[in-house]
Amino acid sequence: MQTVQKLSLLIIAALTVITALPPQALYAQNPGDGAVQETDTNTVTVEEYYREINNNFMGDDLADCGGSSAGAAPITGDLISFIKAYGKMAFDIGKQYGIPYDAILAQAMLESSYGKSKLTTEANNFFGIKAGSSWTGPVYNAQTNEQTPGGGEYSVEASFRAYPNPLEGFRGYALFITENPRYADALKHPNDPIAYITALKAAGYATDVEYVSKNVKILKAVQAYIAKNKLFPPSSAVAPDKSPAGGPGGDGASSGPTASTDGCSSDATGIVGKYAFPLKGRKSVVNNPGMFNNNTADRGGHPYIAFDIMANSGTQVVPFLDGTVQDITTDKCGTTMFSVYNSESDLTISYLHLNAGGIPSNGAKVTHGSQVIATVAPGPCGTGDHLHIDAAKGNSRPGCSREKCPSSNASRFTDIGPQLYETYQALPE
């Protein structure tokens, strides 16, 4: 009974926060650019925004993070996971380019099926943006559903834009909107997500006659969850940058947003999609930051694909990828090592040179970036303190060391350098 009462009070509190926001009118998919796949009132400075996040993140238990508002889509695990992975990326992109960040999140969730569509997982296109004649980058061909103005459905083969990583996918969306004159009316509403998406629909972004109503349901759930957990200021209170780089009048040279925060947990690591940087903390936790360059990570002289991230002994290690803990043992340096197998990707991620205490037991389930699974051991094999991490196809780690690695074993290791680079860039400064 007490649990029910507590949950009721939490939901009421969330609704109170939402209803305190400025009222918004209802808003309203064309063979448009997007295709659904299977006033500056209270200026918020960046410093205040980060301080608010650091001070107010709440627990990531689903019940405590829950809550919704009338007319909203349900707050599901998919929605929460998407906000954790891409919430701050959307916030930074929105602020930089003058687009309501909560509208970006709602639209990305709808278009990408909460990040699960093939267009998203294989091409990092979260917004269903078609290639078009002006696009000179890589493309991804796929079947897509369109609608006639009367709501009749038909399927067509279309070419979509492909991006190298999620950050470029979100940035590509912002550039597409800000550099396309037909969306000028939408950009008049940097603080009104409903008016923004209504204008996108009116300008031909999508063919779905219910595009606005579908977006608004997700938007309300996004706003309720964010407000309940005090993750970001409401979009109505975010002052957009005046001269966004890469947008109108910009040169595209800005480094732009680099982080996506773990929505509920405090002191979160860098999370990008289903990957998390394997060390917890800020960028300064890494003692060899130069290993992250040219959109990948240096392999450090191993005879197979592996990475050594220099960090002080005691630095906390978090899961790089979801999975099941297995093969806890002692490595050749006398420190502890273990692996985490992810059945979805058929990948085994191995962590070496760890202290023995605090490691989950064999068979334990771990989630990327969400929990501490180990700490870095001091000076393995007489070298500097560091975490060794590698990834191999299949459900076990092949026997390899710096001194010896048979070619048949080396061939099973796979390159996670780009993912390490992306998640490192997502760490706070």
Report how far residue 185's alpha carbon sits from residue 199's, in angstroms, rounded to the nearest whole number.
Answer: 6
User: Both 351 and 300 in a single domain?
Assistant: yes
User: Both 184 and 279 in a single domain?
Assistant: no
Which pLDDT does position 124 carry in this prediction?
Answer: 95
> pLDDT class for 34, splitting at 50, 70, 90?
low
* Of the listed ranges 21-35, 65-79, 347-361, 408-422, the one predicted with least confidence: 21-35
In a domain, 128, yes or no: yes
In a domain, 252, yes or no: no
In a domain, 255, yes or no: no
User: Both 79 and 212 in a single domain?
Assistant: yes
Count of structural domains, the chain? 2
- Write down the mean pLDDT value for the chain: 78
User: Both 191 and 279 in a single domain?
Assistant: no
Report how far residue 418's alpha carbon sits from residue 163's, in angstroms, rounded to the nearest whole number.
Answer: 13
Domain that residue 229 falls in = 2-237
pTM for the whole structure: 0.45
- As a whole number, mean pLDDT of residues 355-372 equals 85
- As a whole number, mean pLDDT of residues 215-243 equals 87
200-205 long-range contacts, Cβ below 8 Å, gap at least 24?
A: 200/34, 200/107, 201/27, 201/28, 201/29, 201/30, 202/28, 204/30, 204/32, 204/33, 205/29, 205/30, 205/32, 205/33, 205/34
User: Both 233 and 297 in a single domain?
Assistant: no
**Residue 220 belongs to domain with CATH number:** 1.10.530.10
User: Both 171 and 94 in a single domain?
Assistant: yes
User: Both 279 and 223 in a single domain?
Assistant: no
Do 413 and 391 form a contact (C-beta atoms < 8 A)?
A: yes
In a domain, 154, yes or no: yes
User: Both 359 and 218 in a single domain?
Assistant: no
User: Both 85 and 214 in a single domain?
Assistant: yes
Do 94 and 100 form a contact (C-beta atoms < 8 A)?
A: yes
Of 179, 209, 237, which closes a domain?
Answer: 237
In a domain, 246, yes or no: no
Residues 6 or more apart from 181 whose CB is under 8 A from it? none
